[in-house]
Every structure is written in C-alpha cells, then in structure tokens.
Amino acid sequence: MKLQIHLAAFGLLSTVLLPSLAPGQGSLTPPGAPAPTMKTLQQVEPRTPISSAPFTITEPGSYYLTTNLTVSNANGITIATNGVTLDLNGYTIRSTANPASGTAILIYGDLRNLAILNGNIEGGVTNNAGTYNGPGFDYGIGYYYLSTAPRAVRVSGVNVSGCRYDGIDVGNSDSTVVENCAVRTIGGKGIVATVVKNCTALECGDTAIEGWTVSDCWGRSIGSGHGVYAKTALNCYGRSRSGNGVYADNAQNCYGESDYGNGVYAITAQNCRGSSNNGDGVRVTATAQNCRGYSISGNGVYAKTALNCSGYGFSGNGVYAYSAQNCYGESGSGYGIYADSAQNCYGESDYGNGIFADRTAIGCYGRSLNGVGVNTKNAVFCVGTRTNGTAILTVMANGCYVASGEGTIIATYKYNMP
C-alpha cells in the first residue's frame, strides 16, 4: 500500500517538473496581407479581341473576332507585322461595297510567321456567264507585295465566297500552307499557296487551285485557267472549260476533265484518269503508267511512254505513244494504238487501224472493221483480224496469224508461219 502511494506521488511530481513532450503549436504572430488568388483578364484570355472593322494589326500576338464584321468600302483586317495569329472564331467578315473593292484580310508587306484560322469571308459577287460582278470584296485573303512574298504563312479552316478577283492567295514561292479551306464563286484564282491540301475551289474564273504540292483537293475553273495546277498533284480532281483539268509536273491518282483542254496534262502520270471533248484525255510528255483516258476529238492517252494504259478516242486515237506496253486502245475513226513500238498491246478501231506501230509490234492483237488489224514494219507473234480485208500488214511477219480466219496477212517476209 505504501509502495502504490509513493509511485503515484512520483508520477505527479514528474508531470509537474519535466518539460512537455507534446509538439509546438506554431507562432502566434499574425500573417501578412492576403495574396491575390484570381487570374488577371490577360491571363484568362491572353489574346486581343477584335469587335469592329476596319482593323489594323501592328503588334505581334494572338487576335480573335468577337462578332461578325461588316465593311462598306475598305479592307476588313490588315496584318502589318510579323508573328500574328488571327482566329476568326467562327465569325464572318463581309463587305457591302458595290462594286466590289478591298480585301477581307490583307497581309501588308514582306511578313512571316502568320496564321489565319477558322471563319468565313463573304461577298455578294455573282457569276453571270463568266462575268463576275456585284457587291463584296475584290480579294478574300491576299497580300500587298513590297519586295518578297509572305513566308511561313498558314491558312486553315477558312471559307471564302463571292469575290471579284482571288479567293485565298498567300503566294506559292516560300513556305505557305492552305489547308481545309473552301472557296466558291471567285472571279480569278481560287486558292494559291506553296502547299494546298484538303481544299475545294469551285466556280473560279481563273485557275481554281495552284501550288507546288497540291493533295486531296477539288478544283473547278469555268474559264481558261486550270482546275488544279501544281508541281506535284496527289489524289486531286480538276475540271476546266478551256484549260487543263489537272496540270502538273507529276500527277498521281488524279482525275481531270476539260471541254477544250486536256483532262490530265503532266510530265509523268501514275494511276490517273482524264477525259476531254477536244483535247487529250491524258497527255503526258514522259511516262504515263496505269492511266486511263477518253476523248471525243483528241487522243484517249498521249504519252512518250505508255505503260499499262487504256484509252478511247472517238475520232482520235485510243493510245498514242512513242512506246506502248501492255496497253489497250480503242477508236471510232482513228487508230486503237498508234506507236513507234508496241508490245503486248490490244487495239481496235472501226475505221482506222487496230494497231499501227511504225517500227515493231510484239505480242500484239489488232482488230479493225474497215482498216487494218495490225499495221507495222516488223510484226512478231501478233494476231490480227479484219473481216474481208487485211488483218496484218507488215514487211516482216514472225509467228503471226489471223484470228478466226478473218482477213489476210500481207507480208514481204514470213517466218514461223504457214
């Protein structure tokens, strides 16, 4: 009992004499003034709003429209400095000027690092049998040339309609891109840039789409311009009244149409289709490969070298080439295949020669109703047919025969033949 009392007394004494082992509660000194916790308006929206026009941008930065803009006799927005992003924010810039005048968005001077995005430019210019007039802008997006064209310019997601002259022109000499844009009813050129992709330009008085590289585009000119005009055209459709449907150094997977020009006109063409009323369906100055052409009065396919091509010419030739290999040609009154040398080709014609090869035809089949099936200097393993006429006409025939006994073979020299 005395031991318990002594321990209790010792515990009470320890509690009083020993320092507290509990953690401290911090300073009681009041803190300083409260710091701001809200963002400034500039931090929330670090862009400059545009709510009226005309408006000139003189400082680099980001700008955006807050409403539709309308001008009566001036430019809409002028960009006069480098390093500008202009977001139309889905709004429309209009002009009521009559006759049309000014530019909706003008790039003034030799500028670089610009972006114009997401909106519409609208005028009231209409097309009356090839004459463009009415209220609106002269130009949709254009530039004022001082010493060099704009550089590093991107236009994306902009629609332009009803301009007296050009729709979107940012120059095609240095690093300019127009993508995902559409223009319509443009008196001059529809779209011009170094690179044009995923764009549409319709009812243009001049060339609809022009660039160094044009891909996945649709262009239509109702005048003397071209539907698509490019160094390289990929996956494009072009149509023109009197120009070429697609005009390119290199055309791949393209389709072109023209009334008075060529459907597709290129240095090289691969997997292309073309049609024309008065020109050639596909006209290639070097090699056409896997191409198909149609023409009423011209050649279906015209090429220096035609590989795996097919062509139809109503009054012209089906395929006209210096060298034709694995080709098919058909004509009403011209030649099915007209070549210097033809190999593994099939040609037919109603009133012309099925195949005419100035030097050599090898492994070819020619059919004609009223002309000659195969007409060449050297026929090797060829087959010809012509009812009650000449199936094969040649100087030297080697291993040739007449299909189904129709027609005769006229040859100065015969080898490996009955």
Q: Categorize the per-residue pLDDT at 29 as very low, low, confident or very high, splitting at 50, 70 and 90.
A: low
Quote the CA–CA distance of 23 and 7 in Å, as a whole number.
27
> What is the residue whose two structure tokens read 């009813």?
185
Taking CA atoms, 369 is separated from 179, 338, 349, in Å, by 52, 17, 7
Question: So what's the pLDDT on residue 173?
Answer: 81
Which pLDDT tens digit goes with each residue over 133-175? 999 999 999 999 877 889 999 999 999 999 999 999 999 988 9
With a cut of 90, say whether residue 354 has pLDDT above it. yes
Per-residue model confidence (pLDDT) at position 22:
44
Is the predicted pLDDT of residue 19 greater than 70, yes or no? no
For the chain, give the percent of residues with pLDDT over 90. 84
- The ranges assigned to domains in the chain are 43-206, 335-418
Given this model, what pLDDT does residue 301 score? Answer: 99
Angle (CA) 397 398 402, round 5°: 70
C-alpha neighbours within 13 Å on the C-beta side of residue 401? 7
Between 74 and 113, name the one with better pLDDT.
113
Question: Mean per-residue pLDDT for 347-358?
Answer: 97
Question: Of the ranges 2-16, 32-46, 371-385, which one carries the lowest mean pLDDT score?
Answer: 2-16
In sequence order, what are the residues at sequence separation of 6 or more whose Cβ sits closer than 8 angstroms to the Cβ of residue 22? none
Count of all residues that appear for the chain in the document: 418
Closest by Cα among 111, 107, 109, 134 to 123: 134
**In sequence order, what DSSP letters do the residues of 166-188 get, joined into one string?**
-SEE--SSSSEEEES-EEEEESS
The CA distance from 171 to 114, in Å, is 13
**What is the rounded distance in angstroms from the CA atom of residue 221 to the CA atom of residue 144?**
25
- Give residue 26's pLDDT: 52
Dump pLDDT digits (tens) for 294-308.
999 999 999 999 999
pLDDT tens digit string along 218-261?
Answer: 999 999 999 999 999 999 999 999 999 999 999 999 999 999 99
Q: Does residue 57 have a pLDDT over 60?
A: yes
**In the predicted model, is pLDDT for residue 11 greater than 70?**
no
Question: Per the confidence metrics, is the pTM higher than 0.75?
Answer: yes
| Average pLDDT of span 367-393 | 95
pLDDT of residue 21 exceeding 50, the answer is no
